[in-house]
Structure 1
């Protein structure tokens, strides 16, 4: 009996502690008005981080030297190393090989024809996954040609073909180093967290400052954005290699280098290909955003369409990005599966037998090049055969605006007056000291003193760097967007988990949503609701709803069927099975989905600065337009701190929930 009483007493003590903390917070908030320094962080106490970072960047560019070369020489060398393969691939896919510069340039060798590229990716699809995959990638690349997006898509593809291999190699080497040296991993992990949570716009500012405007700077930004997942996957994959393989390597006398490259890496090959897939997808996403610093291609088309509010052109370019993303994603996944399969023995030793697809690709290149000389339509897709649906989408939006303007304005004003503005004022009036203390208390209750110190220090730094007011606007917009996305996504996830056919359709929809570039979400929202917080809310919810759906379905599918059968045997109704068993056991996964929804919302929130929000995202965007490195990085780090606080608290809560439910 005494053992049974310990659980409710512990839960009661925890509830009392939470209630006491909330009462103290509300009391201080309402009665501590005389302590103005606790509500508005005094300017005299602020840490001048913006000035320090700006001075450091100026010193790097103007004065930093490594003896034989300066820091500027180093950045120029890096830029030239990246620019050389980029120009080569761009010439091969888009511009052709030219003699001369500017308007005097003359084409010596034409680029690969659209027919050649489509046939080559078709061969790759057939090699990796058979006829169905070949047909899919051919259709995706054919879409690019038919809808007039070929040239822009090839510029984007050239950027990916440069950035992705560099990101894969860099992430692999960092992951191996982290696996070998635990101290290096402990030092690297916070840096990876920052790289994945600092808004993309924030590190466009120093990259623009160091590398200038152009595709090379965009490639560097893409590397920084895409490398962390490969690093993490590499470390996890090497740790997951069975001990038998390591023991075998030691028995046959492998050196440390041989153990790494001939035993560990080949054994983890299948898992490493998952990281390769992630690098390709993130590179594609980043190349779009990096169009703001000269990447060109489809990203520039989307950005230009957003600036002139041409939803048709923007959506077509966005769908072209989806087609390119689907083709690259399916190819990389198929090669991941093929890499993990045991190799097939081949009796014929000849070159043709060993490399039939390479030979076929060379034949295709030569044959299409010769055919293109005789039939120009085989070299460049004819404009007369191109299709455009841009006018249709623009007309649909115009029709909605004409016929439903009053309804849309009513919904917008009702949300602003009854939800958004009151919540904004509520959070804006909270004392920074009380919020910091409450977050530290939550960290202590969920994860101990270390988590309390982490979240408390990050909240304090947001206030101490002068970002508290804008951070509260960021939290308000992110918070309401996450609530709305969860209210939409979790019920859809519950319905989809119970119906396999519905889940297949929903999966296609959310895969499409996750591959559409962020800018595309802004265009219909702006054209229907104009600029402001409500427009940002619509765009963020559309972007962030996918993980809420996906993780809810994942959690419900992971529930042990034996527990469901036991509930049915006890006479539970379908609703009771869902509410009392399935949802409770799926709660940890749903909480992780909430975590990912917050991450998606924060990443989209920075981009909504383009539609007039006044939060940290606007600070980052202004810093980008002014090339103010200190301002951009400080605001970006504040967004990263918000993301890390939410991530750590929710992860700790999910871990405690798993323990409480007996899942661990």
Structure 2
């Protein structure tokens, strides 16, 4: 009660300051225009200097970027030729050959069950007429993932070997994971040109940070006994790294590979904006036509690829023990499949290209569902929309936009100090001031308003679902399947039904963000409740607690750190989606990033992206510190900043 009274008093003083201080301290509300940092101009000038004048003696920076493009393009053309375009008049691999090859890989990695699942996913893509686009997307993934894994491992190894380097790249990794992808598409376009190669490079930049973090963490968790043993037998640094450390950390490293694959697939639509093509372009084109059915089918094709690649990479992390003879058998079976499929394709055209007469489509059905809802429930939907807009969204937006940047900096600094001391207080206060100093305070508060409303609604919906799923294993199975699908479905797909039902505007953006961000709210609530020690629950029952008391006084309190981590991840998902909702008419930082992309203004885009990143970092650090305090108060192990 005392702590609650302190917080109520602090908030009361803050609102009093916000209400009374504007006439006395106008600079605390509106950052003086004369003091706005011209960061966008600085970044734009630096980009132009890199492109036109930067030199390393023997070659210029532009020549370096063109060489990198050529190095990426060569393997990309080879893989694209094999899967989609063919080489020198020869056709690409047939759909049947690819499906059988995937079945062989799945069987090698995880046995018959995984083989059937992987083959079914690729067969699904063929049946629904998405094969050609899917192979273009798969080619990009097969190039981006090895580059991302190799680059992330190299950075992780360097960070492990040199602690100073680890400290230096940590904030860079934080920014890479929180800056909206749109923000650095413009510099990539300027430096690497338009096309699939630039899209692959953007995908690598987006997907590499988790591999770096996981590599460092996995190496740090290698038991000291193994390192000591390596030193005792006289291993060199190279031998210690590649014969002791990396093999011991393989399970963790494969988790990093899995993350690179998932993030690369998550990037395919955004990458299509700079020439990637494939399924991402199909979803984007469907969004422009508001063709929900076509976009959903292309989105489900991405989900199918994600499921197959995810399960195969997870199985490879466990590495089934097989003999050398068996490995050779798989290899010969793969060659035989390619050769036999090529011969059969000469006789049976349906072996090369999946016959159109066998294809299915549900696009018309899904489009009809949305149209039926629109026709029959238009008045009710409009009433709900207008009620929430007039009574919740608009008042909350006006409240946040009217807040003084100085007061917000002081308030968040105080919260940081209470949670983790002066270091966190200084970090969040400085980040707030930097947002104001860029002249983007109003747009930043609009972003906070949309994110805050969306996260609150997502938690209000996700928390009860997570509680119900945690109580019933059979329900959790289906809920987990649903949220796995939601997390792999491209974010652009959520926009189409929202726009078709509610037109453009903040309410539409909120609906799309809630649909996209609800998955972690459900997942972390369920996992937190499932992780509660059963002995404590039995003790509560023995004391005569009702089921409601057990849930509210034992389970939810002990699961609070995981639920707070779920709030953290819901915020991260919401912020990443808000940049995409700029396509439906929002007036926040996401719109700034999108306008910068359309105008090829690298400075404007990166400054707005950094403002989004600062909001994400503030939320991440404060919620992480609160989760750590909750763990400490509950006496749990591993009290740290859960990020």
Q: CA deviation at 1:16?
A: 5.5
| Alignment partners' CA distance in 1, 2:326 and 2:169 | 45
1:279 to 260, 279, 286: 260
Check the 8 A contact 1:202/1:624 in 2, yes or no. yes
What stretches of structure 2 of length at least 5 have no aligned partner?
638-643
2:162 to 170, 181, 193: 181
Match of 2:381 in 1: 408
SS at match of 2:267: helix
What stretches of structure 1 of length at least 5 have no aligned partner?
1-10, 99-107
Match of 2:31 in 1: 41
SS at match of 2:34: helix
SS at match of 2:273: helix
| Alignment partners' CA distance in 2, 1:362 and 1:540 | 46
2:230 to 244, 249, 268: 249
Check the 8 A contact 1:219/1:287 in 2, yes or no. no
Match of 2:84 in 1: 94
Provide Cα deviations, 1:328-372, integer angstroms capped at 9, x if missing partner. 11111111122xx5x45x4xx7xx554111110000001100110
Q: CA deviation at 1:15?
A: 4.7
Q: CA deviation at 1:33?
A: 1.6
2:622 to 649, 653, 660: 649
Q: CA deviation at 1:400?
A: 1.1
| Alignment partners' CA distance in 1, 2:328 and 2:271 | 37
Match of 2:487 in 1: 514
Alignment of 1:28 onto 2:9: no
Q: CA deviation at 1:191?
A: 0.4
Match of 1:330 in 2: 311
| Alignment partners' CA distance in 1, 2:8 and 2:501 | 43
| Alignment partners' CA distance in 2, 1:424 and 1:288 | 30
Structure 2 counterparts to residues 189-268 of structure 1, below 5 A? 189-268=170-249
Query: Aligned residues, how many?
Result: 636
Match of 1:84 in 2: 74
| Alignment partners' CA distance in 2, 1:79 and 1:278 | 24
Provide Cα deviations, 1:441-496, integer angstroms capped at 9, x if missing partner. 11111111110111011000000011100000000000000000000001100000
Alignment of 1:53 onto 2:31: no
1:597 to 546, 549, 570: 570
Match of 2:352 in 1: 379
Match of 1:660 in 2: 633
Match of 1:72 in 2: 62
1:292 to 273, 277, 283: 273
Match of 1:104 in 2: none
| Alignment partners' CA distance in 2, 1:290 and 1:453 | 36
Match of 2:459 in 1: 486
Provide Cα deviations, 1:150-181, integer angstroms capped at 9, x if missing partner. 00000000000000000001111111111111
Q: CA deviation at 1:512?
A: 0.4
SS at match of 1:293: coil
2:419 to 436, 446, 452: 446
| Alignment partners' CA distance in 1, 2:460 and 2:387 | 18
Q: CA deviation at 1:17?
A: 4.6
Check the 8 A contact 1:497/1:503 in 2, yes or no. yes
SS at match of 1:355: helix
Evaluate the alpha carbon distance shift between residue 492 and residue 354 of structure 1 in structure 2; reply closer, same or farther with a 3 A threshold: closer
Check the 8 A contact 1:205/1:632 in 2, yes or no. yes
Match of 2:640 in 1: none
Q: CA deviation at 1:23?
A: 3.0
| Alignment partners' CA distance in 1, 2:326 and 2:242 | 28
Runs of 4+ in structure 1 over 4 Å off: 14-17
CA RMSD between the two structures: 1.1
SS at match of 1:148: coil
1:358 to 331, 344, 349: 331
Provide Cα deviations, 1:407-436, integer angstroms capped at 9, x if missing partner. 111111111011100101110111111011
SS at match of 2:282: helix
Alignment of 1:496 onto 2:469: yes
Match of 1:102 in 2: none
